[in-house]
Structure 1
Amino acid sequence: MQTASTNICERMGRSQELSEFKRGTVIGCYLCNKSTREISLLLNIPQSTVSGIITKWKQLGTAVNQPQSGRPRKMTERGQRMLKRTVCRSCQLSAESIAKDLQTSCGLQISTAVRREIHEMGFHC
């Protein structure tokens, strides 16, 4: 049995999506008249996730994840790390020169509007 502190730490933050197999297992258990609590304990998944999967299955008839809405981010995690390193190394550079530096160093085709990314990291230029 897990302790309460371990269980809380596992639930904090955003985790990966469940596989199709696990989602199908949840639906199979539901069709075998298991409660959401029993399914949660059996598969070691939060109860809210189990009920969400069952609700989606009832409404849409499928447990497969739907495509996400919105435009995908242009800046990858690797690009963000490089941007942070560049800003920390030389904080006096303009946003335009930082964008040109990123384009030459890692081949990212980004605009000179990197100010938003820099601001989200906590830096101000």
Structure 2
Amino acid sequence: MDTATGSTVTPQEALIYAMVTLSASDRQMTDRELRKIGDIVRTLPIFGGFDTDRLVHVAEACGAIVAEDDGLHQVLTTIAASLPKRLHETAYALAVEVAAADLHVEQEELRFLELLRDVLDVDALTAAAIERAARARYRTL
């Protein structure tokens, strides 16, 4: 299906879209965020069988959609349409993981997380638990 019309991509691609869009939301994809996305795709079981050589292509496809008029809405719609309900919390957790990677979360990233949480219907208590766990993992001395 054509993602430009807000249709679907594979669940793995939708998870990547969530991470890439979070990273790009503040108009600055940091090296730490990009490394974190690569590490996640290479190591988490949810990406088993995903051809990591396709990561750049999927990220570029996502970026192209975001750059269009109403692109953010299109990406959010695509993510929601492409993921089974049981992966909604996973998508939110992966986006939070990328946000936490550079140890500072920008306002634009917080806004994207809020939009993602809403479109995926992640309840406030679950979102708070995911966010708190990320803060604990990335805390510094």
Could you say which TM-score interval applies, normalised by the shorter chain?
Answer: under 0.3
More helix by share: 2
TM-score, normalised to structure 2's length? 0.24
Query: RCO greater where, 1 or 2, for CA within 8 Å and sep 6 or more?
Result: 2
TM-score, normalised to structure 1's length? 0.26
